Structure 1
Amino acid sequence: MYVGGYFTLIGGETRSRIAAIDATTGIPTSWDPGGDASVDSLALSGEVLYAGGGFQYFGGDDLQPYFAQFGIPAPTLLEVSPLSGEVGAVVTVTGYAFGTNRGTSYVSFGPAKATSYVSWTNDQVRCRVPSGATSGPVTVTTGGGTSNGIDFTMEQSAPTLSSITPSGAVNDGIVDITDLKGTSFQAGATVKLNKAGESDVTATNVNVVSNTKITCKFNLVGAALGAWNVQVENPDGKSAAKQNAFTVTQAPSGLSTWYLAEGSTSWGFDCYISIENPEDEALDARITYMTDTGEVDGGVVNLPAESQTTVNPSDVLGAKDFSTRVECLDATRTIAVDRTMAWSPAPPIFEAHNSVGVTGPATDWYLPEGSSNWGFECWLLIQNPNATDVTATVTYMIEGEGPVAFDKEISANSRRTFNMADDIGARDASIQVHCGDPVIPERAMYKDSRRMGHDSIGTTEPNTEYYLAEGTTGWGFTTYVLIQNPNDAPTDVVVIYNTTSGPVNGPAMTMPANSRQTIRVNDYMPDTDFSTSVFGTAPIIAERAMYWDNGTGEAGHDSIGMPEPHTAFFLPDGEAGGEDDGVETWTLIQNPNDEGVEVRVTYFLNGGGTPLTFTDTVGANSRKTYNMADELSERGASVQVECLTAGKKIMVERAMYWANRTAGTDTIGGFTFRSVNCRPCGESREGDPGCNQETQQAP
């Protein structure tokens, strides 16, 4: 406040006839214009102070006698309360010389000016923290200048949630959340689903795209049906929840639809598709081929009960590159599908590769193996089953160098083929495929003018554990384990080999961010049959490649690993004997448990008939191999493997060889968490140890 009179001393301070007093403390401020005679009246208008009295001058300046006007002095801040807050919080600023009316005056929080004011007086302002405010000094600016600053700490606002896309999914695998919408999301936020009486489902691959959008993945296998709450929690502990925002529904009980990205009946390739029907009744399946010019109807094929059926795409397509979709017309039933391609680089020598299909497209895929070096060709096949064109981002994680990314266009309902060498030259690299619309990739590799070739699907799920059932450094084989670290930080990795006599420690290493590592197992453990377990401190992916030479040139096969074991596996291709080719089919079972497990192996004959079945025990942390020729000869058969030990799960692969191992293939199988003929009621097939009623899943 301002006072005038005839005084020369006020509040213990020397002031001549006029003074500004701090209304809170009663102490005069430093303002002292100094008049020569009395001040009899004062008036404050906006940012101007008017004085009248008997004076002739102020501060030695001749002024109009008896009347003077003064600019308001710069404001002074004494207190800001509270000293921290979030956007929208009300803050009280105390001091003096703010002016009785705000006019054009304002309060600043760092670079941002307050726009919402609760009150304004000469010695106190109450306002709301503006958007854009930062931690730092709060100041008041008037016509008299800008005040001193008092530090204020910005607190992040609590997040809000407005919607989630998609808003529901079936409980048969991983769902990609493409848009979790809200406000005030922070880097490092966690996302989960929760439901009364159920364990939380914590999201993986959480990406805070912006402060209003998050993408992530939920593994819904076994999740309870019904509405779930969605919760986001920022690193500062503030959280938001949207009640009943996500709905989990029952998946069809069967693995009814399969996709195969690779396929060709051109360029000297023969191709056949194997379909396994493990159900106890006949089924029909529709086949659709996706070529570079669009879809081609492959017709409907009948699948006898408990059978293997072979389909030749060339009967419909002629010479063509293609992807394939196989759909069981009864979506509640299970089938399994894989594809074999064979070719002859120099007759009579021939080679082949094989891969199981996948049961659905996804937005992210990982393929640890890949090389356009050492004489290899490396081809990436991307199948787009969507009704619209898509753009996929292909990232090569180059061994010893780092990641490089390229965008690839794939037309609707078609497949495209990309040569790694065209993008990165001669390099060893893992591959990541990301697409906003879900797709399916595979990777095929060839060497020595295609004397050798192998192929594999990828995986959608990095995990801290990965398992590879096949592997040997004996019998003339060389085995490589390929490990991919897709994280933006290094990760520590430990490898353990499960041999026929138990576990053996393998190498340990630290992998750089977004990198790949190759292990030549023969250098660590020669002349041994084994499976492999790979453990990372952060999620990783593992794959295995095997090479051999029977005297006709190097051949090879390859398979992606699996992030977790399962109860039952299906391997559609398989044959024992054969008059011309001498086909071998080997089933590899890995038991990663600390106790032995009982397994049942069933062969479903080509064309149907009575299945052949037997049981055996696989020891703790070990692997066993089964030769189809021990049970049948001169006939094709699909394979089913079930773990009969309650609560335990296994890993299974199938390796096949032709003509004294001139050619060979390998793949993981399709898999489930329960017995095949178990219906959604949860009842198990007679003789089974019991059904855990978990939903089914495939790679």
Structure 2
Amino acid sequence: MPLSINTVTYRELACEYLWNGAPRICAGAFLAFLLTLAFVAPSFSTPQPPRAAGGASGHGLGMKLSKPDLSRRIDRRSYGLDSIPLAASIDLSASLPPVKNQGSYSSCVGWATGYYAKSFYEKKEHPTWDMTDERRQFSPQFVWNGINGGQNEATSIYDALRFMEQNGNTDWEQFPYEGSNYAEQPNSQSVEAAKQYKISDDWGYFFSNISFPNYYNNNISDLKAWLSSGKPVVLGIPIYGDFPDFGSNPSSSFYDYDGSAEFEGGHAVFIAGYNDNAGGPGQGGFLMINSWGPTWNGAGRVYLSYDFVAHYVPEAWYMSDMDSTPSLSSISPAGGEPGQLVTVSGSNLGADRRSSRVGFDGGASGQVVSWTNSQVKVRVPASARSGVVYAYDWNGEKSNGKAFAVGKGSYAAANWLLAEGSTWPGFDEWVLLQNPNSQASNVSIAFLTPGGPVDGPGVIVPALSRTTVHVNEYVPNADVSTAVTVTSGASICAERAMYFSTPDGKWGSHDSIAAEGVADTWYLAEGATWPGFDEWILVMNPFDRTVNVSVTFQTPGGEIVGPELSLAAGTRQSVHVNEYAPNSDVSAKVWCTTSGYGIVAERSMYIHTPDGKVGCHNSMGATEASGAWGLTEGATWPGYEEWVLVANPTSKDAVADFFFLTPDGVSEGPAVTVPAGRRISVRVNDYLPDSDVSTMIFTRSEDMSVVAERAMYISSPDGKRGAHNAPGSIYSSMDWLLPEGCTSPGFDEWVLVMNPDEDVTANVQLTFMTPQGQVEGPTASLPPATRTTFHVNDYVTGDVSTRVTSEQYVIAERAMYMNSPQSKTGATCSLGVITSPPAKTHNGVKPKYAFCNR
């Protein structure tokens, strides 16, 4: 699952509540505020439930008040509502489906949100859609049935919006409206189809009162500004006995409550605009689209007077939509023979229905074995050619493409890819293979050099053990990338470790886990080219054709354009960053410009600085920017210098908040601004000295994304010396693998585990896998929002891989310090590998953001 940490909860260590979008009020002040409110606010009547369904003339109602949730109140400033010019009239109804009739059922909330609002936003995204086509009208029944508990009962707008954020909505033809089917639940196809059409988590209310009916003083100017910006509103309104075309009342194009008619019940309605003169000169009203049929009140609509909305309407809601375009993130494996089963992963893939398919180069579609919104399993068609694969949704809308190689000429189908590697004099390279399964695995290894691919060994990795491959024995005196492919048996994990003592003075060791496949873009947050820092970016092309690559650098002073590369099939290249961005802190973005194809990128640094930093470190890049990052390892004890590097590869400035998790709990760190195209460095020792520490980073809003890494420089009183680095993680998991590890004489190994959940204790089990088999390790209970450390030398001796399991979601890393009789020296660190199934994690972290002013 995504990192369960919640920025609001961490922030509540200092500030407890958000009120009306203003600075958050600390707990004591808020209590005093509530006590004051109790004396000055008018008394509210007891909330009244809606009348039974099928009121006057058989018109259904069905809206009950939403629960109070202050975090959902609109932040007026962030939307700039005061600066939106107000037209005299707005009418957005041209983007709506036809007016229809809910009948006598209590389904109005589903109609206002699921039918009108969701259909409106999809029409805006797909301007050519014909809204009279029921495949393009969204289902009120799907939403209502998802929140009504199987009963013909009133529901809240809050619950409907939350439901569509979490589950989406499907179309009318897929899940048609029949009011009497209020207990029907969708089949699996409808569930997957709906996931393509979720709303964003950016929804909430303009006003939400706590009693109903009553007299209020609502701000309706915000509603007009929102509508003027081209976005609709959903109201929860009271229906009184004087409502137009209700019972024996006549029709009327304008409604203003007479102040005495009897309350009939609550009703959810869609607001498509306003007119300042709807009821005559100076008599303004909001354009309401009803769900009582096209003949109600003449055309299914009425203007609600400004006075009625300001003083009698209890709540007004807004929502924002998400892009529903299909998108591919990976194909695994990225190559294969006709008939082979491949997994196409991505988002907004919808369901296996209508025109949905996976198209291969050559014009044929793969035979579908299974289809969900995030993953499709298909067999490669007989006529497929090497090229680009696309997914098409039910409407034939096409995704981005991903390269797929048909035949045996590509290494892109490898299970694990390692871009860095060198076997020149003084470079000692090892590939570590961990098998966490009860079945042995047969593995083939290939090495990709600047001159092309070189076949490596075939090895057997026994069950519940690990195997080591010394790369120097197979490709001496070469720059080398590595492709690891399981040819039979269970899946494995791979990592690479390197040790240095070179003629030109490079000294130490570095390490990285392998990449599970290629990506279009790689982000490398760390980097420095100051005197004493020697930085290299390593790029690998595992495909059977040439690909082109661009590199840019993000520095504190702005972005620098880097080199353009052309990588021949099955090769790797090195970029010396010092030549392009000298004397600077520097992050990098590396991306494949050959459409549909991808690469693997890492960064290595060699350090011998005037201030005493020595060693080297390495990291695989990150394939996406995010609003949340977790970094498990960290220490600020004497002799440990820790830096967190944050890059912003996007076009929007980002504000990032730091939190430090220690064995004793959470400490609040700095808030930093990372301008677009730049990077910043945070020295953790300045904020939390003399501690073991994990780091959590959150941006201030969900549209701000950054990339984070951590670098450490060590010269400790007990003789540890060197440097290490690891990327942050945007995922937590219940199962982590750490393929590398050694506790032989001169090797000091530590496993670091962080529990990012602020509410739940995580019980953790370590299991060790050695060349001789599996060894049970220690257990520990991690309180909420803490980290702990395991000294592996206390449990096993020799080469060792580690598995970290928990019934809660955690993040794991491994750090090692070396000064061996074989002259291996320095320090290494690596993030763990998340095990399958991939459903254990989700793409990205989207908490609900709310912050104190700094």
- Shorter chain as denominator, the TM-score bin is 0.5 to 0.7
Of 776, 780, 783 in structure 2, the residue corresponding to residue 616 of structure 1 is 780
Report the residue type matching 1:200 in the other structure. K
Report if the CA contact (8 A) 1:550-1:662 is conserved. no
Q: Secondary structure at the match of 1:611?
A: strand
Report if the CA contact (8 A) 1:258-1:358 is conserved. yes
Offset of residue 475 of structure 1: 4.3
Structure 2 residues without counterparts, runs of 5 or longer: 1-90, 95-123, 131-167, 171-188, 200-324, 331-344, 357-391, 402-412, 845-854
For residues 283 and 525 of structure 1, do their structure 2 counterparts lie closer, same or farther at Cα, with a shift above 3 Å needed? same
Of 815, 826, 831 in structure 2, the residue corresponding to residue 663 of structure 1 is 826
Matched, 1:297 2:455: yes
Matched, 1:317 2:445: no
Of 281, 288, 291 in structure 1, the residue corresponding to residue 439 of structure 2 is 281
Matched, 1:360 2:524: no
Q: Secondary structure at the match of 2:639?
A: coil
**Who is 1:476 aligned against?**
639
Counting only pairs closer than 5 Å after superposition, residues 103-182 of structure 1 correspond to structure 2 as 158-159=127-128
Structure having the larger proportion of residues in strand: 1
Matched, 1:461 2:618: no
CA distance in 2, matches of 1:193, 1:516: 39
**Who is 1:576 aligned against?**
743
For residues 620 and 324 of structure 1, do their structure 2 counterparts lie closer, same or farther at Cα, with a shift above 3 Å needed? same
Report if the CA contact (8 A) 1:305-1:608 is conserved. no
CA distance in 2, matches of 1:414, 1:203: 41
Offset of residue 375 of structure 1: 1.9
Deviates more, 1:507-516 or 1:610-619: 610-619
Offset of residue 486 of structure 1: 1.5
Report the residue type matching 1:637 in the other structure. V
Query: Alignment length, in residue pairs?
Result: 469
Offset of residue 425 of structure 1: 2.3
Matched, 1:443 2:603: yes
For residues 509 and 604 of structure 1, do their structure 2 counterparts lie closer, same or farther at Cα, with a shift above 3 Å needed? same
CA distance in 2, matches of 1:618, 1:270: 37
**Who is 1:509 aligned against?**
672
CA distance in 1, matches of 2:646, 2:355: 34
For residues 442 and 229 of structure 1, do their structure 2 counterparts lie closer, same or farther at Cα, with a shift above 3 Å needed? farther
CA distance in 2, matches of 1:585, 1:553: 12
For residues 372 and 349 of structure 1, do their structure 2 counterparts lie closer, same or farther at Cα, with a shift above 3 Å needed? closer
Offset of residue 693 of structure 1: 6.2
Offset of residue 474 of structure 1: 0.8
> TM-score, normalising length from structure 2?
0.51
**Who is 1:393 aligned against?**
550
**Who is 1:521 aligned against?**
684
Report if the CA contact (8 A) 1:672-1:696 is conserved. no
Offset of residue 318 of structure 1: 1.7
Structure having the larger proportion of residues in helix: 2
Report if the CA contact (8 A) 2:350-2:394 is conserved. no
Matched, 1:602 2:767: yes
For residues 227 and 489 of structure 1, do their structure 2 counterparts lie closer, same or farther at Cα, with a shift above 3 Å needed? same
For residues 349 and 381 of structure 1, do their structure 2 counterparts lie closer, same or farther at Cα, with a shift above 3 Å needed? closer
**Who is 1:383 aligned against?**
540
Q: Secondary structure at the match of 2:706?
A: strand
Of 414, 418, 427 in structure 2, the residue corresponding to residue 260 of structure 1 is 418
Matched, 1:628 2:792: yes
**Who is 1:307 aligned against?**
465
Report the residue type matching 2:707 in the other structure. I
CA distance in 2, matches of 1:650, 1:379: 32
**Who is 1:558 aligned against?**
725
CA distance in 1, matches of 2:347, 2:598: 22
Report if the CA contact (8 A) 1:227-1:245 is conserved. no
Structure 1 residues without counterparts, runs of 5 or longer: 1-82, 87-154, 162-191, 205-213, 232-239, 249-254, 675-691
Show CA shifts across 1:349-396 (max 9, x none): 951000000110010111100111242111000000011111111110
**Who is 1:587 aligned against?**
751
Report the residue type matching 1:514 in the other structure. G
CA distance in 2, matches of 1:156, 1:483: 34
Show CA shifts across 1:64-121 (max 9, x none): xxxxxxxxxxxxxxxxxxx99x9xxxxxxxxxxxxxxxxxxxxxxxxxxxxxxxxxxx
Offset of residue 408 of structure 1: 1.5
CA distance in 2, matches of 1:228, 1:506: 49
Report if the CA contact (8 A) 1:352-1:453 is conserved. yes
CA distance in 1, matches of 2:599, 2:506: 35
For residues 649 and 393 of structure 1, do their structure 2 counterparts lie closer, same or farther at Cα, with a shift above 3 Å needed? same
**Who is 2:191 aligned against?**
197
Show CA shifts across 1:173-227 (max 9, x none): xxxxxxxxxxxxxxxxxxx9976213535899xxxxxxxxx99655947999952
Of 567, 577, 581 in structure 2, the residue corresponding to residue 420 of structure 1 is 577
Show CA shifts across 1:664-699 (max 9, x none): 00011111255xxxxxxxxxxxxxxxxx9658999x
Report if the CA contact (8 A) 1:482-1:544 is conserved. yes
Report the residue type matching 2:436 in the other structure. P
Matched, 1:545 2:703: no
CA distance in 1, matches of 2:450, 2:753: 38
Offset of residue 484 of structure 1: 1.1
Report if the CA contact (8 A) 2:768-2:776 is conserved. yes
Report if the CA contact (8 A) 2:329-2:346 is conserved. no
Q: Secondary structure at the match of 1:663?
A: strand
**Who is 2:226 aligned against?**
none
Offset of residue 590 of structure 1: 0.8
Q: Secondary structure at the match of 1:243?
A: coil
For residues 156 and 328 of structure 1, do their structure 2 counterparts lie closer, same or farther at Cα, with a shift above 3 Å needed? closer
Matched, 1:227 2:349: no
For residues 608 and 385 of structure 1, do their structure 2 counterparts lie closer, same or farther at Cα, with a shift above 3 Å needed? same
CA distance in 2, matches of 1:470, 1:494: 18
Give RMSD over aligned pairs: 3.7
Q: Secondary structure at the match of 2:799?
A: strand
Offset of residue 423 of structure 1: 1.7
CA distance in 2, matches of 1:608, 1:203: 50
Offset of residue 405 of structure 1: 4.1
Report the residue type matching 2:776 in the other structure. L
Of 549, 565, 574 in structure 2, the residue corresponding to residue 408 of structure 1 is 565
For residues 317 and 241 of structure 1, do their structure 2 counterparts lie closer, same or farther at Cα, with a shift above 3 Å needed? closer
Q: Secondary structure at the match of 1:463?
A: coil
For residues 513 and 407 of structure 1, do their structure 2 counterparts lie closer, same or farther at Cα, with a shift above 3 Å needed? same
> TM-score, normalising length from structure 1?
0.61
Offset of residue 301 of structure 1: 0.3
For residues 415 and 401 of structure 1, do their structure 2 counterparts lie closer, same or farther at Cα, with a shift above 3 Å needed? same
Show CA shifts across 1:410-450 (max 9, x none): 11101000101122222211111111320000000011289
Matched, 1:651 2:808: no
CA distance in 1, matches of 2:756, 2:125: 46
CA distance in 2, matches of 1:629, 1:310: 19
CA distance in 2, matches of 1:511, 1:628: 38
CA distance in 1, matches of 2:638, 2:439: 41
Report which of the two structures shows the higher radius of gyration computed on alpha carbons: 1
CA distance in 2, matches of 1:202, 1:381: 39
Q: Secondary structure at the match of 2:705?
A: strand
Q: Percent identical across equivalent pairs?
A: 29
CA distance in 2, matches of 1:280, 1:156: 49
Q: Secondary structure at the match of 2:580?
A: helix
Report the residue type matching 2:818 in the other structure. W
CA distance in 2, matches of 1:156, 1:225: 16
Offset of residue 455 of structure 1: 0.3
